[in-house]
């Protein structure tokens, strides 16, 4: 069976510090991978998605970047965090079976920038 | 992808059916309707999807109008654990198609 891991679960970082969030998927190959952010009290915002190694599409210009160094690894990074980067970060992978675009989400990382 | 419109919130009594509406008047012929839900502090969970026929699974039923401009998610016997934000999403079938989550509808199930 497939599983998705995210770490850390919670993180408190000062403004201006770097960020690295990691997501790995097990039990599937060549998945589509996604990074979402959910600010407090708001909906999910798609940040990046990837259809393969080294292929990253950015949805929103921002202070963040993403990389996919391996098939089942997706990393979200920032060189200098801003207060507005606080939020709940979710990684997801998707299976494409005919019409179905079912996404499976990880447990998330709650980031607080102070 | 077509945009969806949902009321911000609704509530229902435990054990009764919860009918969650969604408008998607600009949906195109090859776009599907998806429903996900997000329980507080967790990632969204897939519920059901459909194209034009009504669909049912162990979690819910999806009723799509004949003109496909609106749909209703039905939770037949709501429980307190169904309290969550429910997202109605319209998406195509291309390999790069994405799910765009709006604000959803907050369902509160009361005892």
Q: What is the pLDDT of residue B96?
A: 67
Q: What is the pLDDT of residue A43?
A: 81
Distance CA A90, CA A96 (A): 19
Pick the residue from chain A with its C-alpha nearest to B44.
Answer: A105
Please answer yes or no on whether B34 and A101 come within 8 Å at the CB atom: yes
**Residues of chain A with confidence (pLDDT) below 50:** none
Q: Which tokens belong to B82?
A: 């169904």
Question: Does residue B102 belong to the interface with chain A, where contact is any CB pair within 8 Å?
Answer: yes
Beta bridge partners of A95: A102
* CA distances to A2, A66, B17, B73 from B21, in Å: 32, 36, 13, 7
Pick the residue from chain A with its C-alpha nearest to B86.
Answer: A43
Per-residue pLDDT tens over the stretch B56-108: 999 999 999 999 999 999 999 999 999 999 999 998 876 667 788 888 999 99
3 state DSSP class of A81: coil
Per-residue pLDDT tens over the stretch A15-40: 999 999 999 999 888 888 999 999 88
């Amino acid at each position: 069976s497939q599983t998705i891991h995210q770490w850390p679960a919670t993180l408190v970082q000062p403004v201006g510090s770097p960020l690295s969030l990691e997501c790995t998927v097990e039990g599937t190959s060549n998945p589509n991978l996604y990074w979402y952010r959910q600010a407090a009290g708001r909906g999910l915002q798609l940040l990046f998605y990837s259809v393969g190694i080294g292929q990253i599409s950015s949805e929103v210009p921002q202070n963040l970047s993403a990389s996919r160094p391996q098939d089942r690894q997706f990393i979200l990074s920032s060189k200098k965090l801003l207060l507005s980067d606080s939020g709940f970060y979710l990684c997801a992978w998707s299976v494409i079976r005919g019409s179905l675009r079912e996404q499976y989400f990880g447990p998330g990382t709650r980031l607080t920038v102070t | 992808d077509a945009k969806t419109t949902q009321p911000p919130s609704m509530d229902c009594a435990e054990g009764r059916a919860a009918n969650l509406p969604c408008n998607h008047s600009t949906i195109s012929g090859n776009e599907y309707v998806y429903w996900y839900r997000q329980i507080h502090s967790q990632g969204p969970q897939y519920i059901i999807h459909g194209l034009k026929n009504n669909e049912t699974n162990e979690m819910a039923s999806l009723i799509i109008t004949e003109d496909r401009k609106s749909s209703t998610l039905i939770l037949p016997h709501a429980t307190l654990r169904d309290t969550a934000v429910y997202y109605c999403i319209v998406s195509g079938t291309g390999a790069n198609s994405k799910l765009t989550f709006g604000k959803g509808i907050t369902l509160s199930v009361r005892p």
